[in-house]
Structure 1
Amino acid sequence: MKKIILLLLMLCSITTFGQYAKIQEDVDLSIAFGQSFAPSFSYQKLYGLGQSKRFKIGWGLRATAFFGGEKNYRTAPARLTSAQSSLFALFADDLVGNIDTLRLSKTALGSFNAKIVLQYSFKKFDIGFNIDAIGVSFGGKQSGKFVSAESPSLNNTTQMASPTTFNLLLISDSDIGSLNSELYVAYHLNNKWSLRTGFNYQFLEYKTERLLTFENDRFRHKLLQPFLAISYHLPSKK
């Protein structure tokens, strides 16, 4: 709960600071492709910092759809994957004996999240990063094969799963649900339009109907893909 409150306070403080900084508003259509197909549509508001206003920080809303074929979803909770939490889980080794697999024949889910944006602007280019912070996911229920070396009685059984409903950014394997992020470069075609490209990194999460090995019901797939996007810049405000 403390981490949720911290995220909300951070988003509120960004909005408050924006009253004193130059505002940039964008709507954006992005498509990630490769192993899967993942379109997203977003709105964002950026606030320029410093005298030059080149460095921008902001927030936005993003709707993402993800469609893919067969994928392996591994045990999700950080308490099992590394016994670490938050930033420490980034650098911890996997506890292989704790990690099971849920094999799904397809992935089809959607998410709607608030996102955080960091960007540095040049005359014709932007370099930036954005990441989903909190929201919800939705999608159909499906069956998958559960693979577990530690539980012969459950190994190779069929389990029903659906997308985890609640999404929350807590860093690395501490994250909950399905979250989208982008590292990008944008080129300004003119004052109204920009093209963006870079890498799209998604955390996708399904939850089984029953608790399985280690009292766990959450399974995650991580995927890095290239993306292309087009952005429309709304009229600027002061």
Structure 2
Amino acid sequence: MIASGLTYAQDSPAKSRFSADLGLSVGAQQYGGHAWLSNMHFLGAKRKIGIGYGIRWSSYFGTDQNFTSAPPEFAGKAEKEGTLTVANAQINSLNLAIFLQYNITSKLEAGFNIDAIGFSFGEEQGSAFAPPGTGTSNTAAYLASPTSTNILLVGANDRGSLYSEFFVRYKLNDRLAVKAAFSYYFLEYTTSQPIAANDDNDRFRNSASMVGLGVSYTIK
């Protein structure tokens, strides 16, 4: 009876976990590097559901990426959506993030995490703007910089650069785990001046889908 109790105590998941992660996400002519610290709290008798918070650094790099008009009132309207093409996009972000996960077994975990609020920065880049309905013809040159404020407001209402991912993670031992992920990355540039041909809009967004790999290390 005592031995059984000791075995259960050893197998029972911890109530909380503080960990560090590194990840790489890759898409079409674009990729991102990510590092974060997270603090998870596990709920229920079996502690299978985890809810947590943390801070994440992301650096994005993209070649010849198209950013479309970002204001939510422009979304899905071909007559409103202009295109800003950035030849060498590079955005750095530091965001507070939300983490959710489910412990499938003692070794296998799945979950979702998303940036909530923070800021971005990067060098000003030259870009080419194509008015709505013109494709890549009749373009004009503009300078653009990463939108400085990031905030999660749901869908087209989001502002700035925000990273999110669905993941499956396998624990190699009590400290180290490996992860595969599908990520969705909102990235945003602001032009140095409003663009009259786009109803004086100055914000443009690239919604990037990527796949990724990562490692996790449990600190405590």
Q: Is TM-score (shorter-chain normalized) higher than 0.5?
A: yes
Determine if the alignment matches structure 1 residue 80 to structure 2 residue 74: yes
Unmatched tracts of structure 1, length 5 or more: 1-20, 82-93
Match of 1:187 among 147, 170, 191: 170
Q: TM-score, normalised by structure 2?
A: 0.88
Q: 1:47 to 1:108 in 2, by over 3 A?
A: same
Q: Secondary structure at the match of 1:123?
A: coil
Paired residue secondary structure (2:128): strand
CA shift digits 1:1-51 (9 cap, x unpaired) = xxxxxxxxxxxxxxxxxxxx9211110000112322211000000111122
Residue in 2 that maps onto 1:60:
54
2:194 and 2:200 in contact (8 A); partners too = yes
Instruction: Say how many residue pairs are matched.
Output: 201
The residue that corresponds to 2:11 in the other structure is: none
Which residue does 1:97 correspond to in 2? 79
| Structure-2 change in CA distance of 1:32 and 1:80 (3 Å) | same
1:33 aligns with 2:26: yes
User: Hey, what's the Cα distance between the residues in 2 that align with 1:116 and 1:149?
Assistant: 35
Identify the match of residue 169 of structure 1 among 136, 144, 152. 152
Greater Rg over alpha carbons, structure: 2
Partner residue of 1:107 out of 70, 75, 89: 89
Q: 2:193 aligns with which of 210, 214, 230?
A: 210
- Name the Cα RMSD after superposition: 1.6
Alpha-carbon separation, structure 1, partners of 2:219 and 2:102: 18
Per-residue deviation, residues 100-133 of structure 1 (Å, max 9, x unmatched): 0001111111000000011001211100000000
Aligned equivalents of 2:119 and 2:22: distance in 1? Answer: 20
Using the TM superposition, give the Cα deviation of residue 150 of structure 1 relative to its aligned residue in structure 2, in angstroms: 6.9
Is 1:199 aligned with 2:182?
yes
Instruction: Output the CA distance in 2 between the equivalents of 1:53 and 1:171.
Output: 29
Q: Describe the superposition over 1:179-220 as per-residue Cα deviations: whole angstroms up to 9, x where unpaired.
A: 001100000000000001121110110000111121210000
Q: Structure 2 counterpart of 1:207, which letter?
A: T
Aligned partner of 1:135 in structure 2 is: 118
Name the residue aligned to 2:8. none
Q: Identify, as 1 or 2, the structure richer in strand.
A: 2
In structure 1, what is the Cα distance between the partners aligned to 2:113 and 2:84? 29
The one-letter amino acid of 2:26's match is: F
1:149/1:234 CA distance change after superposition, 3 Å: closer
2:209 to 210, 219, 224: 224
Q: Given residue 100 of structure 2, which amino acid in structure 1 is its aligned partner?
A: L
Which residue of 95, 100, 105 corresponds with 1:118? 100
Q: Is the 8 A contact 2:89 2:125 kept in 1?
A: no
Shift of 1:68: 1.5
More helix by share: 1
